[in-house]
Structure 1
Amino acid sequence: MSKCSKCLTPSDSETHTTLPSVPVWTECEACGVLYESDAAGVPIDSGSISMGGIHEEITRPMVRVMVEKQNARLRKIAEEGGNVYQASTDYLDWLTEVYSASMTDEEKLKFWDLHAQEQEALTRHIQDNTARVEAETAELLKKHESAERTGEQIGMVIGAALLITIVLFLFSKM
């Protein structure tokens, strides 16, 4: 078993996924550490990675990728029936105690400010999607209720016509 060259997490192989951002950021699939790489996912040893895989220059694209990846992880946990609240607090603990531990106060302030902004942007995006789905659902319910009322009205007309036919039939025999 080998270890990831950036984060030293034991893994069967060094598998990395290139993330869509500029500059190219790659995430170690074993531990989730982000580092700058070339298009093939090969680490760039430019000295931009410090202890714990922290990029010395905190950028919005880097933080956005982190927030999006955490959102994807939380969705997966939710789909599997896991505790997303516990996973979320574990992630925040990791950000505080491990990821940002070697940052200066200025870097921490910048990181947490960008992280909060990106979390807010993602939350608003999710809320917009939820509102859209709720509006579509309400429209479908209105159509269903309208169709149901129309069906009831047709049933009443048929019932009334049947009743009139029976009454006329009975009176015609008298």
Structure 2
Amino acid sequence: MAKRGSEVRVSVLLLHIVLAVAFLGFFTYAVFTGSVNLVPNAKEIKLNSLPAKLEFVLKYQTPGLFTVLLCVVYVMMRRVISPAINPMSGNEIYVEAASKILTNTLEQYVLHLVSQLIVSAYIDGPTLIKIVPLLAMFFVVGRMSFAIGYPMQRAFGWWLTFGPNVAAVGYCAYKFLIQIKVLI
């Protein structure tokens, strides 16, 4: 019986991964073909310099930062309405899930923010105008899905955030290695 349960868990996990990859691929394709426009005033935005690109990236950190803030408020609310209002009371079980969601969101947000700042140094403005809002949307939808599905159904949301972060960090590493002539 235990073998059947683990097979079901693996199947559900694989389903979440496949759905997340499909979602990422569909929306990335839609944005880059022009079917979905995440920046209505994109034609007016001129990203001709690194400072302009960095400003654009920083402005699009607002949705992710707001997501982190919501996680902090969720921990606070769970604490206030439970015996865990005193963090030294031994009742941390009441805020454990909320705390783990917050911790994971902070980890993912650091990768999200820093990788986009670095990416802005490597890619041209018109591409950045498509990538940054797309990454912001993936982050927010991924974090919402992660929190709603936590703990057992969190894989879709986790992959929706982690996948783009891996892609961005991988791109940064690749461009860096080419720049220092480790890769030709």
TM-score by length of 2: 0.28
Structure number with bigger Rg: 1
Larger % of helix: which?
Answer: 2
Tell which has more relative contact order, 1 or 2 (C-alpha 8 A, sep 6+).
2
